[in-house]
Amino acid sequence: MLHASEHSGPRSLLRLGRWRRACCALSAAALLCVAAPALAADITPVKVTTANGMTVLVLEQHFLPIVEMHALVKAGSAQDPPDKAGVANLVASLLDEGTTTRSSKQLAEQIDFVGGSLEARAGEDFTTASARVLKKDLDLGFTLLADILMHPAFPRQEFERVRGQILGEMSSDNDDPGTVAMRAFNQLVFHNHPYRWPVNGTEETVARITLADVQGFYAREYLPNQVILTVVGDVTVEQATALVQTYFGTWKKGTSPARATKKPAPVEKKAVQLIEKDLTQSTILLGHGGISRNNPDFYAITVMNHILGAGGFSSRLMDSIRDKQGLAYGISSHYDARAMPGSFWINLQTRTEATNQAITGVLSEIKAIRESPVSDQELSEAKTFLMGSFPLRLDSTAKLAQVLAQVEFYGLGFEYFSQYPKWIERVTKEDVQRVARQYLDPNRYALVVVGNVAKAKVRQ
């Protein structure tokens, strides 16, 4: 499926309360947050490009009186200056903290009053800002979304407060072995590449960010010709395009910034990093570079990865490492497909003395799926699950708006919605073995272990 950006900067308690109230209000009729299941073949949005270069996708769904407006800005943490990682996240975190005409309190009160939601978050490849309202409040939804995107004020007081919150969150993250391991893993796999930094940056880089950096990033990156706006719900194409013109028509087009598209350098040999923490368990992260989202092998890799470790209790890693060897409560594998090639990793926690056994077991499963075809049953169950769960990823206006924007961003074509099950169904045992051999490497990988290094005695 699509890579959905889940990383976001910390939110204030006010914003958390705002989000909770919005969800409660919008689900007052219990079903208003959820769209009736749509047949994938029915998802045929209308695409319009405005005079100022904004890409607008409209999908009419009239069975619930709700509309989601979702703006994808083609700028994320990959565009952060190298010594100022975290700028994109800070910009996104400040969008709804005050505009030239509304304070953060006024924004919160206006969206709360109609039981709507308004939020923004940054990811690696893009930033999203979205508003969800009932049909009767459509004008207000467009008003507020356009206001935070076009007229953020970046008040110095809010900048200092939000930056302080982000730094505070990072400090607490240092106690989380999973976060520590992922941070170290990304440094090994994405050496000298923009993906090496967390979306919210590091304590050192965020401390260096100035208000001028935030304002400069916004001025450079937030342009209408850098935006994909999806409008999904109880609205006609004519209404939506007229509203876009009314509220976004004065946004001035600019020159799209140049983009670095270099691929991350591959991990050339085994790279091991051991991080000392006085814990009873070792947190293990093992993997290497991955694929971009538009890689034609994406669907075969999705099936292969489901069988290997993404399929929960039916996966090989869970069967071997958890059930047969009793080494971990949970273990899973991941492919993070992005605009540029992302990463592949396997993560687990095991008791300190079993660290080497667990690592050996993981590498054995990687070798096995490369060396022998998967069984007919494994292939059938993986494909059945992936095809069957696909509609659940499109079962709300919010999900649909998000996926639509990403389909456009990654250039997948709108046939994605009707063809996804067919692309999965087409995957053969030979495809699974071919991509396992091509995209999994049990010899050149990054390994991070967080725990009691002396007791773990990791073999290097």
* pLDDT tens per residue, range 371-428: 999 999 999 999 999 999 999 999 899 999 999 999 999 999 999 999 999 999 999 9
Q: Quote the pLDDT of residue 7.
A: 35
Q: Quote the pLDDT of residue 10.
A: 32
Residues 32, 24: Cα–Cα separation, whole Å: 10
Residues 355, 352: Cα–Cα separation, whole Å: 5
Q: How many CB atoms lie within 10 A of CB 296?
A: 8
Closest CA to 222 of 254, 260, 194, 258: 254
Percentages (nearest 5) of helix, strand, coil residues in the chain:
50, 20, 35
The helix/strand/coil state of 441 is coil
Residues 318, 301: Cα–Cα separation, whole Å: 18
For 281-345, give the DSSP string: EEEEEEEEE--BTT-TTHHHHHHHHIIIIISGGGSHHIIIIIIIT---S-EEEEEE-BSS--EEE
Q: How many CB atoms lie within 10 A of CB 320?
A: 18
Q: Quote the pLDDT of residue 12.
A: 39
Model pTM score: 0.90
Residues 417, 440: Cα–Cα separation, whole Å: 28
- pLDDT of 187-229, one tens digit each? 999 988 999 999 999 999 999 999 999 999 999 999 999 999 9
pLDDT in tens, the chain (460 residues): 454 333 333 333 344 344 334 444 444 333 334 444 445 557 899 999 999 999 999 999 998 999 999 999 999 999 999 899 999 999 999 999 999 999 999 999 999 999 999 999 999 999 999 999 999 999 999 999 999 999 999 999 999 999 999 999 999 999 999 999 999 999 999 988 999 999 999 999 999 999 999 999 999 999 999 999 999 999 999 999 999 999 999 999 999 998 877 788 899 999 999 999 999 999 999 999 999 999 999 999 999 999 999 999 999 999 999 999 999 999 999 999 999 999 999 999 999 999 999 999 999 999 999 999 999 999 999 999 999 999 999 989 999 999 999 999 999 999 999 999 999 999 999 999 999 999 999 999 999 999 999 999 998 8
**What is the side-by-side strand order in the sheet with 271-276?**
271-276, 446-451, 281-289, 343-351, 331-336
Closest CA to 208 of 90, 317, 330, 372: 90
Q: Quote the pLDDT of residue 460.
A: 80
Q: State both tokens at 184.
A: 């170290």
Token pair 């407060």 in the structure block, residue:
161
Show the CA angle centred on residue 134, arms to residues 131 and 137, nearest 5°.
80
Show the CA angle centred on residue 379, arms to residues 378 and 382, nearest 5°.
80
Q: State both tokens at 154.
A: 């970046």
Give the chain's largest Cα–Cα span. Answer: 67
For 175-228, give the DSSP string: T-HHHHHHHHHHHHHTTTSGGGS-TT--HHHHHH--HHHHHHHHHHH--GGGEE
Closest CA to 404 of 130, 139, 66: 130
Q: Quote the pLDDT of residue 8.
A: 35
Residues 215, 219: Cα–Cα separation, whole Å: 6
H helix intervals, 74-123? 87-94, 104-113
> DSSP state, 126?
-
Report in angstroms the alpha-carbon separations of 259 from 75, 241, 339, 341, 429. 10, 29, 11, 15, 38
Residue 284 gets the label, from left (phi > 0), alpha (psi -120 to 50) or beta, of: beta
> DSSP state, 152?
B
Q: State both tokens at 16.
A: 């958390």
Crossing angle of helices 156-173 and 211-221, in 10° steps, is 100
